[in-house]
Amino acid sequence: MVITHEPVKIKGQGISGGAAKGKLHFLVHRETRESGTGTPLSPEEELARLSSAIEKAQAQLSELYENTARTIGEKEAEIFRIHSMLLDDEEFRGTAENFISQGMNAVEAVRRSGESVAEIFRELGDDYLSGRAQDIKFISDRLCRILTGDGEAESDEPDEPYILVSDDLSPGETVRLDRRHLLGFVTFGGSANSHTAILARALGLPALIGTGEIDPIYDGESAIIDASRGELIISPGIGELDRFAGEVRKKEADEARLKSLIGRPTVTRSGKKIKLYANIGSPGEADAAYRNDAEGVGLLRSEFLYLSASDYPDEETQFTAYREAVAGMHGRPVVIRTLDIGADKKADYFALPEEENPALGMRAIRLCLSRPEVFKTQLRAICRASAFGKVLIMLPMIVSVDEVRKAKRIFVEVKNELRYECLAFDEDIRLGVMIETPASAIMSDELAREVDFFSVGTNDLIQYTLAADRQNPALEELCRDNLEPVMRLIEKATESAHANGKWIGICGELAADLSLTDRFVSMGIDELSVSPPTVLPLREKILGCH
C-alpha cells in the first residue's frame, strides 16, 4: 500500500450503474504458463493426461453451471455451457492432441492450441467472436491449472468491504467471489458484451472494465468506484468524498422511499387500479420480480430455453423451467410468451433459411405454426406448469385472426392430450396476444373477440410502425420523436379490448418511460410490465397520476 496525497483518476467503461467506496484489493493471477512444461512423458501418457484434465474440467463446469443457474439465473449460467462446448471443440482439442503427438507436453500443447484457436476467433473480427477468443483463454487456463495442480487465481479476500481489481476475471471467478464484502470490481481488459459483464449486472455491483493496467502499488489504497461516471478514483480528496457522500445519501433516501411502497396497492389518485407486473428473461429472475413486489410477471420471454440449447428443449426441461418461474412468484400470475425465435434471436438447430429481412421474416408465431410439433411441446410444458400457480399464455407477432385461430386449435389438441394422459393443468388458463404489429392494432377489435387479453410490445410496434430497425442506434432519436402514431395504435387497441370486456397491458420498454405513464393511465391501460428494478419507481409514479 502507498499513501498518495493527490487523487488518481482512472477512466474505464462502466458496465453497471452505481458507486461504492472501499479499499482496493488486487487479485493476482498465478502464472501457470511455465509450470508443468518439463520433459514430456510419452505421447500416449500426455494424451491420457489431457483427456483426464478435460473430464475434470467438464465436471467443474457442470457444477458451476448448476450453482449459477440456481443462485443467479439460467441466462447467466449459460457461459459455463459455452465453455463446456468449447472444451470439446474439435479445433481446440485436435490442435492440442497434434502438438502432443509431435512430442510436446500436455500443458504446453493446451496453451499453444488455446492461443492459436483464440487467434482464429479474433481474426473473424466481430465483437461476439472476440468474446469467444477470451472464453478459449479461460478454458485453456482452466486445463493448465488442472494439469499443473494450480487453483484459480488466489484472492485471499479481505474481511472488510473492498473493491476488487484484476487483470481479467473469468466468469467462474466472478460467480465464486465471496460477495459479503465485495463492493464492486475493476478489470484492466474486458468488453461490455462479455459474459463476465453480464454476470456483473446480474449481481448488481458497480463494475468498470477496460481501465488498462493499474499499478499493484495501489493495493490496499482507499478508492471510489463510480460506474455511472466510468471512473475509479484512488485516494479520493475531500471534493470527491463529498460528492460520493451526497450520492450515497440520495441513493439511500431513494431506496428507503421506494421500499416503503412495498405492499401498497398500485392505484391512481382517482382510484384506478393498475396491475404492476415485471418482465423476466429466465425463471431465476422471478426472485427479483417478487422482491420488488411485482404483482405478477407480465412477460416471461421463453426464448432463453431455446437460445441456450444446442437442440430443441424437450417438454420436461421446459416444464421444470416454467414451474420454477411460477413457484418464484408465489401464486401471483405469470404470463408466459410462446416462442419468439427468429430475426435477431437465432438458434442454429432451427436451421432457418437465410432471409434478406429477418425482422420481417419467419419468426415467432409464424415459425410455431409452421412447426406444430415444436409449438405443441412448448404448450404442453406451459399447461403442465399451470397446475402449480396462475399461468397465462401469450402469442407474439400476431398479424391476423387466422393465426390466432390456428394457434387455438393446436392449444385445444394439447389440452385434450393432457386430459387423456391424466396430466394436471389449469382448465381456466387464459390466452392473450401481443400487439406489436400495426396489423394487430388495426385488427384489434376482431382479435379482442378471440382472446382474453392484449399486451403491447412497443419495442416491435415502434419498429414496424415507423419502419425503423430497433437494432440501429442511429434511429433512436427518430423513434423518440415520432411516438404519436404508435400511441394512437395503442389507443385503438385499448378501445377494442375494453369494448369487448378484455384487459390490455404494455410489456415493451415504453412501459418504463415515466414521462408516458400519465398518458397510458388516461387512455385506460390496465397493466404495465417493466424490469424488476423499475417496478417500485413506476408504482411511485402511478400513485401520483390522476
Task: Please list the active-site residues.
Answer: 195, 507
Q: Segment near ligand PEP (CB under 6 A), from 80-88, 96-104, 110-118, 458-466?
A: 458-466
Our CB check for ligand PEP shows the closer of 168 and 460 to be: 460
Cross-strand pairs, 248: none
Our CB check for Mg ion shows the closer of 8 and 431 to be: 431
Q: Which of 508, 517, 525, 527 binds ligand PEP (CB under 6 A)?
A: 508
CB of 506 to ligand PEP, least distance (A): 8
Q: Segment near ligand PEP (CB under 6 A), from 51-59, 252-260, 354-362, 457-465?
A: 457-465
Our CB check for ligand PEP shows the closer of 73 and 457 to be: 457
Q: Segment near ligand PEP (CB under 6 A), from 45-53, 56-64, 265-273, 453-461?
A: 453-461
Look at residue 149 and give its three-state secondary structure.
Answer: coil
Q: Does 457 bind Mg ion (CB under 5 A)?
A: yes
CB of 475 to ligand PEP, least distance (A): 15
Our CB check for ligand PEP shows the closer of 400 and 459 to be: 459
Say if CB 50 and CB 94 are below 8 A apart.
no
Binding mask 317-356 for ligand PEP (x = CB under 6 A): -----------------------x----------------
- For residue 352, the 8-state DSSP code is P
Q: Segment near ligand PEP (CB under 6 A), from 7-15, 51-59, 418-426, 454-462?
A: 454-462
Say if CB 322 and CB 386 are below 8 A apart.
no
Q: Which residue has the closest beta carbon to Mg ion? A: 460
What is the C-alpha to C-alpha distance for residues 527 and 274, in angstroms, rounded to an integer?
5
Q: Does 436 bind ligand PEP (CB under 6 A)?
A: yes
Look at residue 297 and give its three-state secondary structure.
Answer: strand
Distance between alpha carbon 283 and the CA centroid of its chain, in Å? 11
What is the C-alpha to C-alpha distance for residues 45 and 56, in angstroms, rounded to an integer?
16
Q: Does 285 bind ligand PEP (CB under 6 A)?
A: no
CB of 345 to ligand PEP, least distance (A): 8
Say if CB 61 and CB 83 are below 8 A apart.
yes
Assigned C-alpha cell, 497: 379490448
Our CB check for Mg ion shows the closer of 296 and 457 to be: 457
Radius of gyration of the chain (CA): 26
Distance between alpha carbon 41 and the CA centroid of its chain, in Å? 45
Say if CB 100 and CB 46 are below 8 A apart.
yes
What is the C-alpha to C-alpha distance for residues 456 and 345, in angstroms, rounded to an integer?
20
CB of 415 to Mg ion, least distance (A): 26
Our CB check for ligand PEP shows the closer of 95 and 458 to be: 458
Number of H helices and number of E strands within the chain?
Answer: 21, 16
Look at residue 132 and give its three-state secondary structure.
Answer: helix
Assigned C-alpha cell, 298: 407480465
Chosen from ligand PEP, Mg ion, none, partner binding at 199 (C-beta under 5 to 8 Å by type) = none
CB of 337 to ligand PEP, least distance (A): 8
Distance between alpha carbon 245 and the CA centroid of its chain, in Å? 31
Chosen from ligand PEP, Mg ion, none, partner binding at 301 (C-beta under 5 to 8 Å by type) = ligand PEP
Residues 6+ apart with CB under 8 A from 82: 132, 135, 195
Our CB check for Mg ion shows the closer of 50 and 368 to be: 368
The candidate with the shortest Cα–Cα distance to 402, out of 450, 352, 356, is 450
How many CB atoms lie under 10 A from the CB of residue 259?
Answer: 12
Q: Which of 84, 130, 459, 500 binds ligand PEP (CB under 6 A)?
A: 459
Cell 432519436, residue located: 477
Strands of the 13-16 sheet, one edge to the other: 8-11, 231-234, 222-226, 19-27, 162-166, 182-187, 207-209, 13-16
Say if CB 92 and CB 117 are below 8 A apart.
yes
Q: Does 301 bind ligand PEP (CB under 6 A)?
A: yes
Q: How many residues bind ligand PEP (CB under 6 A)?
A: 10
Our CB check for Mg ion shows the closer of 82 and 530 to be: 530
The candidate with the shortest Cα–Cα distance to 338, out of 383, 400, 294, is 383
Instruction: Restricting to residues 421-450, name those near Mg ion by CB under 5 A.
Output: 436
CB of 447 to ligand PEP, least distance (A): 16
Q: Which of 19, 507, 528, 530 binds ligand PEP (CB under 6 A)?
A: 507
Q: Which of 293, 452, 460, 513 binds Mg ion (CB under 5 A)?
A: 460
Say if CB 532 and CB 302 are below 8 A apart.
no
Q: Which of 22, 43, 184, 457 binds ligand PEP (CB under 6 A)?
A: 457
CB of 437 to Mg ion, least distance (A): 9
Our CB check for ligand PEP shows the closer of 171 and 508 to be: 508
Q: Which residues bind ligand PEP (CB under 6 A)?
A: 299, 301, 340, 436, 457-460, 507-508
Q: Which residues bind Mg ion (CB under 5 A)?
A: 436, 457, 460
